[in-house]
Amino acid sequence: MITMVPELLILLGTTAIVQADLLPDKKFVLLPPANFTIKVTGLAQVLLRWEPNPDQEQRGVTLEYQVKINAPQEDDYETRSTASKCVTILHKGFSASVRTILWSNRSLLASSWVSAALEAPAGLPGTSIVNLTCSTNTAAVNYTHSRPYQVSLHCTWLVGQNAPEDTQYFLYYRYGSWTEECQEYSKDSLKRNTACWFPRTSISGKGREQLAVRVNGSSRLAAIQPFDRLFALHAIDRVNPPMDVTAEIEGTHLSVQWEKPVSAFPIHCFDYEVKIYNTRTGYFQTEKRTINTFISIIDDISKYSIQVRAAVSPACRVKGLWSEWSQPIYVGKDEQKPLTEWFLIVLMATICLILLTLSLVCRTGHLWTKLFPPVPEPKSSIKDLFVTINYEKAGSSETEIEVTSYVEEPGFDILKDSVV
């Protein structure tokens, strides 16, 4: 509390000074801008425009404007221009306000606001698509082309719950000033478009601009709500895996090399992860690299599986997704001697055969007793019968024991031990 008091005093003091400064300017009134309009200039893109108020007194000061976006997403910025471009989804409508401002000795003078709005496009609720996802991928093209790389785009979505059966959807994307409609759709069982593929787009492989996608639709039974979505390229770019992965073992050194992925980004723009899997011990090792080689000391003679993946490094673009792992390559050799393996297999087969024969012999024994049961004496007592039953029981349990030992083959354990 004690420390707060001087601060409060200072604050009060500053306010007082500012007020005193403004006093001579009391008659200087700021008027709101004139003719504020919002115009759709492209897919998910609007232009806000206004004019300085013709009755505004200038007095040699530079007037500025404060723009406030109210919907669909709040935003607030200042500009000296009388126009402002805005990239935003438009299927929920759009509204913004603007006012004239003047910064005078770090205090703000402002006019009243003027506002304008765009209505949300008409449509039956629940008819717009849901779960729109898109991804991009870079491919190399023939060197005869002016651009050595081309970016493809793939999008999928789900049909709206309330969309009539005859609904058809159309996908458009805009990148920069280029807008294009999809030509290659995939359809659901009712022939409604639910995915789209652009083998080539105007998207730049190193681009930073947002990608705007719109899916609208038509039906004879209802107005279909459109759906817009903006994508940050780094978040949807499926980076290619590194190329030409090679590995070799020299003595105790395992060295791995690879080439950068097919990408418009130069070689210094990648982070890598190398995954080394020891096929004998099952041990994984994952290492991060910023260069195209990796050398490791190995103390274990074994076969190794090696995979590498890549991601564009934050030095060149906002961190995005890892690529898929490259196809595994194998290096080194298994210690296992095939001869021992064969010996074990033969041994196991022999054991099986012996067990099988034994159990067969046993069953034949039973059959014998069943076919030619000992002829009971005319005056056989209950005691005798009891003995016979007991004999049968003992016989069958013997067979069980044999079957059990057949399952518990010791050979498997030996093999397992030798593998580990």
Ligand X SMILES: *[C@@H]1O[C@H](CO)[C@@H](O)[C@H](O)[C@H]1NC(C)=O
Residues found near ligand X in the complex (CB under 6 A): 21, 34-35, 43, 51, 54, 104-105, 130-131, 142, 158, 170, 172, 214, 216, 218
3-state secondary structure 298-324: CCCCCEEEEEEEEEECCCCCCCCCCCC
Q: Residue 280 — φ and ψ, nearest 5°?
A: -85, -50
Mark residue 176 as left, alpha or beta (left: phi above 0; alpha: psi -120 to 50; beta: remaining). Answer: left
Instruction: Between 124 and 358, name the residue whose CB sits nearer to ligand X.
Output: 124
Instruction: Between 50 and 277, name the residue whose CB sits nearer to ligand X.
Output: 50
Query: Closest approach of Cβ 204 to ligand X, in Å?
Result: 20
Looking up tokens 């593998």 gives 419
Cα 31 to Cα 25, 48, 105: the distances in Å are 14, 18, 20
Residues paired with residue 180 on neighbouring β-strands, in sequence order: 173
Instruction: Between 54 and 338, name the residue whose CB sits nearer to ligand X.
Output: 54
Query: Closest approach of Cβ 99 to ligand X, in Å?
Result: 16
Instruction: Between 80 and 416, name the residue whose CB sits nearer to ligand X.
Output: 80
Query: Closest approach of Cβ 196 to ligand X, in Å?
Result: 13
Instruction: Between 225 and 292, name the residue whose CB sits nearer to ligand X.
Output: 225
Q: Residue 217, Cβ neighbours under 10 Å: how many?
A: 25
Query: Closest approach of Cβ 242 to ligand X, in Å?
Result: 19
> What is the widest separation between alpha-carbon atoms in the chain?
140
Query: Closest approach of Cβ 142 to ligand X, in Å?
Result: 4
Query: Closest approach of Cβ 280 to ligand X, in Å?
Result: 40
Contact yes or no for 343/363 (Cβ under 8 A): no
Contact yes or no for 94/45 (Cβ under 8 A): no
Contact yes or no for 367/320 (Cβ under 8 A): no
Query: Closest approach of Cβ 212 to ligand X, in Å?
Result: 10
Pairing state of beta strands 149-158 and 168-175? unpaired
Instruction: Between 191 and 319, name the residue whose CB sits nearer to ligand X.
Output: 191
Nearest one of 205, 47, 158, 28 to 104, comparing CA atoms: 28
Instruction: Between 34 and 321, name the residue whose CB sits nearer to ligand X.
Output: 34
Contact yes or no for 269/313 (Cβ under 8 A): yes
Count CA atoms within 13 Å of residue 333 on its CB side. 6
Query: Closest approach of Cβ 181 to ligand X, in Å?
Result: 7
Instruction: Between 215 and 233, name the residue whose CB sits nearer to ligand X.
Output: 215
Helices (H) and strands (E) in the chain, counts: 5, 23
Contact yes or no for 98/113 (Cβ under 8 A): yes
Query: Closest approach of Cβ 143 to ligand X, in Å?
Result: 9
Instruction: Between 108 and 158, name the residue whose CB sits nearer to ligand X.
Output: 158
